[in-house]
A and B are shown apart, each in its own frame.
Chain A
Amino acid sequence: MSNLRRVVAHLASFLQFFLLFGLLTGCQSGSEPGSEDLNGHSLTDRVIVIDGLGRELSFTSPPSRIVSIAPSATEILVAAGGLDRLVGVTNVDDYPPEIAGLPVFSALPLDIESVAAMDPDLVMASDQVNDPNHVELFTALGIPIFYQEAGSWAGIRSALLDVSMILGTEDVARKTVDSLDARISALKQMTSSAEPVTGIFLVSDVTSYSFGQGSYALDLMEWAGITPLTREFDTPAPVLSDEWVLMANPDVIIGTFGDGFTIEDLLEHHPAWSSLDAVRLGRVYAVDGDSILRPGPRNVLAVEQMARLVFPEYFTTERTDR
C-alpha cells in the first residue's frame, strides 16, 4: 500500500467519522470475528481450520444453519455430510437432487442481503468462483465464511475433510474420501497398462475453450489414461485455434458437447478437422458437463466416464454404483 493511500486512508477515516456522526462506531462494535470465543468454551472443544484463502477459522460448536454461495461448494458440503444443515443455495445450484425446494438467491451478482436474511451461522464459498473481497462484508455481518480450496484434486479432497471437521462429521467424510481414493487408484492402475492415448478437452463444440497448465481437469484426464496435449499452455483456460488442433492431431477429443452430439456437429464449426485422426476413427466423445466442470467429488465420475469411453475394453462388466 502506498504512502499516498495511507495518508488518504487517515484523512478518510476522519471524514467518515465526521460525515456519519459516529454511526460506524455504533454498528461495528460487537461484530468482530472470534467474539464467540468468550462463550466459556474451553480451548479443547474448538475446531480450527485454514480455508482456501489461507484464513484461520475457529468454531466452538458445529454450525447448524449453512448457506452455500457456489454450486461446487454445495456438492463438497453435501459429500462432507452437511446436507441436513443447508438452509439456502444459489439460483444455479442443481445437485444433489435433495436440495430442490431450498430457498435460493441470486449468484451473480451475489445477493448478500438475501444470504444474510437466511440467518446462517456459516457460509460456504469456493476460492475458484467467489470474490475473496466478500470476506470483509460477511465479517462485518458477523457471519463466518469458509472458502473451499477447489483448484486441484488435492484441494478438493482436503476441503472435504476440513468441512467435515467443522461439521463434526469426520467419520462420514473419511469414508467418502477413502472410497474416492480407492476408485481413483483402481482407474489409474487400469489405465497405466494401456497403450498411451493423447487427447484434448473442449468445453464447447463451437468455440474451442480448453484447459491448460494448472487446471485440475488435466489431472482427471491423465487418471483416465489420456495425455492432455493442452498442458503446453501456461494458462488454465486457453482458447485453441483450429490450426493448433490440426497440428496437435490428438488421438481422442473429449468435450462437454451436450446431449445428442454427433461428430457432424463438430465438423460444422471446424470443417478442417475432418483430417484429424480422432475424427476419422470416430474417437470424439461427449461427456457430462457438471461432473467435470464443477470441482468436487463428482470429478471421479468424470474420470470413470472418460476412461470407459476411451478404453471400453477394460470395462467388460457394467459398474452398478453410478
Chain B
Amino acid sequence: MKKELAILLGLLTLVLPVLATGVALGPVSLPFAFSMQTIVDALMGQAADPTDRMAQIILQIRLPRVLTSFTVGAGLSVVGVAMQALVRNPLAEPYVLGISSGASAGASLFYLGFLPAFIAARIDITLAAFLGALVSISIVYVVARGGGSLSVSRLLLAGVALASFMAAVSSFVTFASPDLNRMRAVLFWLMGSFSGITWSDLPTAVIVTVVGTLVLISQSRSLDALLTGEEPARSLGVRVEGLKKVLIVLAALVTGVLVSISGAIGFIGLIIPHSIRSLVGVNHRFVLPGSFLAGGLFLVLADTISQVILPGQQIPVGIVTALAGVPFFLYLLRRSDYQFK
C-alpha cells in the first residue's frame, strides 16, 4: 500500500516540472526563466503585453498545447484501463477495439459533408466523433457477445476488423471528397497532431476526461471484481450489465471528444495502463489515477520531443509515442513478475 501511494505521489510531483518543460521547449528557443515568469505573471492576474510576441507564444501557443496534450494522454490511458477491465483482456484499448477509428470516421463524415442534412444540422464535429466511436464499440461488443458469453478472441477479431473498416470509411470519404482543402484535415484525424491547438479546444476535453476518470475511480471496486469474471463480480453484488454499459458509453465519449481535438493517437491506452500495473499492481484505485498522471506526462513529453527533435520541422506526435513508448513497454512485459489480473 505504501509503495503504491509513493508511486502516485512521485507521478504527481512530476506533473509541474514536466508541464514546465513542455512550455519552455519548442521550435523557438526562449529562456526558461522568461517562460516561467510569463506564466507566473499571468497567474497573478497580470495581463501580458499583447505586443510581446514571445509572451504570446508562451500563453497562446505552448500553454494550451501542453495542457491539451496532458488531457488527451490522461484520457486515452484511463479509457484503456476501462476497456481492459470491460473485456478482461490485456490487449484491449481504444485503438485496437476500433473506437478511435470510429471517432475519426464520424468526424470525417461530418466534416466532409457526407451526413444527411437533417442529421448534420443537429450535431457538431465532437458529437459526430462520439457517435462514430459509440457505433464502432457497440458493434464490436454485440458481435463478440453472441451466445450469452463474451468471447475474447471474437472481440479482438471484431475490434481489429472494425478498426480497418472505419479507417476505410475515413479514406473513402477523403477520396470521394469534392474539396481538396479538406483532405489535409482528414489526414490529420488519421495521424494525430497538436499543431494549432487553442484555448477553446481545452474545456470540453478537460471536463470529459476529468468527469470520466472520477466516474471510473468511483467504480474501482466493481472494476476490480469485473477483472475476476462476470459471475464472481455478480456474486459480489456488482450490477454487471449496467456497469458495462457505463464503460462503453464513457469510452466512446472520452475517445470521441479527444479524437475530434487531436486526431487518433494510437497505443497510449495500451502502453500506459500496463506500465502502471507493473508498478502499482492491479487495484483500480491505484491503476486509474496512476494511468491518468502517467498518460498525461508521457504525451506532453512526446509532443515536446516531436517539436524539437528535427530542427525547423515538426513530426506527428504518434511517431514519437510509438518509437519511445513501445520499446519501454516491451521491456516491462519481459519482466517475468508482470500480472494482468
Contacts and interface: CB of A to CB of B under 8 A. Distances in A.
Interface of A: 1-2, 4-5, 8-9, 11-13, 15-16, 19, 21-31, 35, 91, 104-106, 108-114, 116-117, 119, 127-129, 131-134, 136-137, 140-142, 214, 234-237, 239
B57 interface: yes
B3 interface: no
B184 A129 contact: yes
Contacts, number: 147
Contacts of B127: 2, 4-5
Contacts of B53: 116-117, 119, 141
13 contacts: A2-B123, A4-B127, A11-B203, A12-B203, A25-B47, A30-B49, A111-B27, A111-B195, A116-B53, A119-B53, A128-B181, A137-B61, A235-B176
Contact of A129 (B46, B181, B307, B312): B181
B303 to A, nearest CB: 11
Nearest to B187: A108
B206 A15 contact: yes
Contacts of A35: 50
B196 A26 contact: no
Contacts of A105: 27, 312
Contacts of A91: 312-313
A235 B177 contact: yes
Listed from nearest, the 3 A-B pairs whose CB atoms lie closest are A12-B203, A109-B195, A30-B50
Contacts of A237: 180, 183
A15 B203 contact: yes
B198 A137 contact: yes
A128 B181 CA distance: 5
B178 interface: yes
A30 B43 contact: no
B196 A110 contact: yes
B51 A142 contact: yes
Contact of A110 (B59, B126, B179, B195): B195
Contacts of B50: 29-31, 35, 142
B185 A131 contact: yes
User: For chain B, what secondary structure do more than half of its interface residues adopt (helix, strand, loop), or is it mixed?
Assistant: helix
B314 A111 contact: yes
A27 B47 contact: yes
A16 B178 contact: no
A91 B311 CA distance: 11
B168 interface: no
Contacts of B47: 25-27, 29-30
B169 interface: no
A80 B222 CA distance: 67
A70 B204 CA distance: 31
Nearest to A132: B181
B42 interface: yes
Contact of A21 (B43, B60, B204): B43
Contact of B124 (A2, A31, A239): A2
Given A114-B28, A116-B53, A237-B180, A8 B198 contact: no
A133 B196 contact: yes
B206 A19 contact: yes
Interface in B190-214: 193, 195-196, 198-200, 202-204, 206-207
Contacts of B338: none
A232 B300 CA distance: 48
B178 to A, nearest CB: 5
A28 B50 CA distance: 8
Interface string B60-93: 1111000000000000000000000000000000
A12 B60 contact: no
Nearest to A31: B50
Contacts of A4: 127
A99 to B, nearest CB: 16
Contacts of B183: 237
B135 to A, nearest CB: 18
A143 to B, nearest CB: 9
A106 B27 contact: yes
A90 to B, nearest CB: 10
A27 B42 contact: yes
A21 B102 CA distance: 36
B20 interface: no
**Which of A28, A35, A112, A116 gathers most chain B CB within 10 Å?**
A112
A91 to B, nearest CB: 6
A26 B195 contact: no
B46 A5 contact: no
A9 B203 contact: yes
B28 A140 contact: no
Nearest to A215: B180
A15 B28 CA distance: 30
A16 B123 contact: no
Given A5-B127, A22-B45, A35-B50, 13 more contacts: A11-B207, A26-B41, A26-B45, A27-B42, A30-B50, A109-B196, A111-B27, A111-B307, A113-B61, A116-B57, A131-B196, A134-B196, A141-B56
B175 interface: yes
Contact of A5 (B51, B124, B176, B184): B124
A129 B316 CA distance: 18
B122 interface: yes
A114 B312 CA distance: 9
B98 interface: no
